Amino acid sequence: MAGIDRVEIRKLAKRYGSERALAGVTLDLAAGSMCALLGHNGAGKTTLLGIVSTLVRQTGGTVAYRSNGAEVTGAAVRREIGMLAHASLCYGELTARENLALIAGLYEVDGSAAALDGALDRVGLDRKAWDRAARTYSRGMLQRLALARALLTRPSLLLLDEPFTGLDRDGALSLGRQLGALRDAGAIVVVVTHDLEAIADRADHVAILRRGQLVFEERGAYTYEQLKDVYHRHAN
């Protein structure tokens, strides 16, 4: 399979008991684009990412994943998803190399020492830490390992929830560059963030959620000032 090149979200709804998390969200995500998914806390961003990642079941609406027009389902979808969540999704008792080796095994991708080391190198994780248990890492180091884990499988759909959290300025810049490179290589990148500065000039698709509803969506490049203006006009 060539990878997911389109995600079609239609009238997506999610309720947690009597709480409405999403209400009729319709959104298209296309290959080679970076979507900044914005909104205040509780707007429904993480729920939307959860449903697109297949880890949360919607109560209404559909999400269709397409590759060259054909619908992709089940494990084939999951194979194409790279996810960076609030938590690292890495085992604290395992070292960075062991965490990546586990993922390489489950995804059946190249798990050779060279491949794993290359992945850790690309995210700038200090070499001295590669064979240390991940529980000893700082927040920033853990975030780098989480990114290496997400990118190891060369996903065509990358879902990132607050990816800049815990990273220093160099780390945030480097991550921004990598996300841009992935987008340019044809991946669908979705970034949930409150850090408008980090995502400005990189995102080419902006979607804003408010109380579970999509209140703004537009494609195009945004400077920080433009993004800030759009955010304050629609998210509040």
Partner 1 sequence: MALLRHAARVAWKDLRIELRSREIVYTMAFFGGAVPGMLWVAIALAGTIGLGRAFDRERENDTMRALLLAPVPRLAVFLGKAIATTVLVLAVAVVCAPMLAWLLDAPLFAYPGPLVLVVVLGAVGIAVIGSVFAATLLKVRSRDVLLPVILYPLLVPLFVAGTSSTSAQVAEFPNLDAAWYWIEFLGIYDSAFLVLSVWVFESLVIE
Provide the minimum distance between the beta carbon of 47 and partner 1 in the complex, in angstroms, as a whole number: 9
Tokens at 65, concatenated: 């994943």
Figure out which of the listed residues 1, 24, 26, 76 binds partner 1, where binding follows CB under 8 A.
Answer: 76
The answer to whether 87 contacts partner 1 (rule: CB under 8 A) is yes
Tell me the one-letter amino acid at 152.
Answer: L
Calpha distance 152→31 (Å, rounded): 19
Longest distance between any two alpha carbons in the chain, whole Å: 50
Encode burial over 99-123: b for 16+ CB neighbours within 10 A, e otherwise. Answer: bbbebbeebeeebeeeebeebbeeb
Question: How many CA atoms within 13 Å lie on the side-chain side of 51?
Answer: 26
Nearer to partner 1, 68 or 73 (CB): 73
Task: Kindly state whether residue 201 participates in binding partner 1, applying the rule CB under 8 A.
Answer: no
Q: Find the binder of partner 1 among 72, 90, 182, 198 (CB under 8 A).
A: 90
Say whether residue 103 binds partner 1 (CB under 8 A). yes
- 162 part of the interface to partner 1, by CB under 8 A: no
Alpha carbon dihedral 1, 199, 35, 22, in 10-degree steps, equals 120
Q: Strands 6-16 and 19-30, how do they pair?
A: antiparallel
- The residue among 167 and 200 lying less far from partner 1, judged by its C-beta, is 167
Which two three-digit tokens encode residue 70?
């054909």
Q: How many residues bind partner 1 (CB under 8 A)?
A: 30
Which listed residue (60, 105, 118, 186) binds partner 1 by CB under 8 A?
105
CB of 184 to partner 1, least distance (A): 25
Closest to partner 1 by CB, 100 vs 199, is 100
Instruction: Work out which of 46, 67, 88, 156 binds partner 1, going by CB under 8 A.
Output: 88
- 234 φ, ψ (degrees, to nearest 5): -110, -30
Q: Which of 149, 183, 205, 234 binds partner 1 (CB under 8 A)?
A: 149
118: which strand partners?
A: none
Query: Are the CB atoms for 143 and 167 separated by under 8 Å?
Result: yes
| Minimum distance, C-beta of residue 203 to partner 1, in the bound complex (Å) | 24
Spatial neighbors of 65 by CB under 8 A, at least 6 apart, are 4, 6, 7, 71, 72, 73, 77, 80, 157
35 to 64: interface string for partner 1, x by CB under 8 A: ---------------x--xxxxx-------
The residues that touch partner 1, with contacts defined as CB under 8 A, are 50, 53-57, 75-76, 78-79, 81, 83, 85-94, 98, 102-103, 105-107, 133, 149
